[in-house]
Amino acid sequence: MQLNDNLGHLTYCTNIHAGETWAEIFDGIRKHLPAVKAEFSPNVPLGLGLRLSAAAGESLCDPEIFGKFEVFLKEGDYYIFTLNGFPYGTFHGQPIKEGAYRPDWSDPARLTYTNTLAEHLVKWLPDGMEGSISTVPGTYKSWVAGSDGPKIISAIGDNIVRHVAHLVGIKAATDKTINLALEPEPCCLIETIEETVSFFQEHLFCDHAVSLLSELTGLNIDEAVAAMQTHVGVCYDVCHAAVEFENAQESLDALKEAGIKISKFQLSSALRIASVGEDTKAQLDAMNEPVYLHQVVENRNGDITRFSDLPDALAIIDAAQGAEWRIHFHVPIFLEEMQGLGTTQQFLKEVLAIHKASPLTEQLEVETYTWDVLPEKYRRSGLSASIARELAWVRDELVS
């Protein structure tokens, strides 16, 4: 829904709902979205952050299938302004871990998939709104650690530019603007805001990238510079930034100073252990699940250590006593603590307060995709009611 005072449009991401085929995804939406709208925005249109796998995106190329979904959107008073194009394939029900980043942006399959998503989004996008597609932050960092790393990173930059060229073409044909939103994440090619700024400067805002975009589109150099800043930005996932021990104000200022658009905020919260102790391992046992990658960042008096997954951190827990851990595990944003552990809700409150004082984006998307792997006692309220509660919590933080 659209919030007042130019605070933007608030929605949730449907990667919460299990499903990879379009039929499965649509079933989840039909099951939960009407109940969420009835609880959260019964009298005003509700926006939707739609997650589409590659297979689902291909299915929607069928005019009949696409048309049936458009009828559903119109009859339900829903609209779409952002897509989650991060997980290409399976995202629920089986171990995914670092597979969530495949194919990465060095692979033409990622480019083709994201181009298809843009073709769909432009048809749903309301007049006067920009659209966004959140995506993998280049690749998984360890995949570019070898001698071929620079070559792979160069290919990543070039494929992103090729997608921007596609978005330029969409803009010329429809007068609608879509931007690609790279999503910094722990243990990925771009994980910190400092690394994000460096990647943009070295691979997207550089002379080579601008010249390539000019060549692909026929834009002159000045026009290509402007197009790059218009059509590629950042999805600022608040959970990820909190896990990285970012300073909320400083990190947002750094993006602004570098001319990097904040395409959308993904509103999310992580687990936080203020001081690892004797009970920490037992407290985390219920959260040590096999499906998703749960990166851990340790802070000991300013010294940062990163672990690619929770089991790696637990293996050295005796040496971690007294340090602070933040764990990439999306937890309900309305909880200050969970399973006897803290959360990074306070960091989320800081980001929302900054946005309330001076809006930074028109897109706000709640993204707690881990409901089906949370301990059972946190799932008793039902998924639709929990989603509506998260949305209401954000609204109350912003408009109260």
Query: Considering just the CA atoms, what is the radius of gyration of the chain in Å?
Result: 20
DSSP string, 177-207: -EEEEE---TTBSS-SHHHHHHHIIIIISSH
Q: How far apart, in whole angstroms, are the C-alpha atoms of residue 3 and residue 9? A: 6
CA neighbor of 391 nearest in space, from 12, 2, 6: 12
Cβ-based neighbour number of residue 49 at 10 Å:
26
pLDDT of residue 74: 97
pLDDT of residue 349: 98
pLDDT of residue 134: 98
**Element housing 212 (H / E):** helix 207-217
Q: What interhelical angle do 63-76 and 22-40 show, nearest 10?
A: 10
Burial tier of 396 (Cβ tally within 10 Å: 0-12, 13-18, 19+): exposed
pLDDT of residue 400: 78
- Residue partners of 358: CB distance under 8 A and separation at least 6: none
The C-alpha angle 97, 158, 128, rounded to 5 degrees, equals: 85
Bridge partner list, 343: 271
- What are the mean pLDDT values of the chain's consecutive 10-residue runs (400 residues total)? 87 90 96 96 96 97 98 98 92 74 97 98 96 98 96 98 98 98 97 98 98 98 98 98 98 98 97 95 85 93 96 95 95 90 96 97 90 75 91 94
Cβ-based neighbour number of residue 320 at 10 Å:
22
The C-alpha angle 394, 397, 400, rounded to 5 degrees, equals: 125
Domain segments of the chain: what residues?
9-269+337-399
What's the topology of domain 9-269+337-399? TIM Barrel (3.20.20)
Q: Is 245 left (phi over 0), alpha (psi -120 to 50) or beta?
A: left
Place of tokens 């991401």: 13
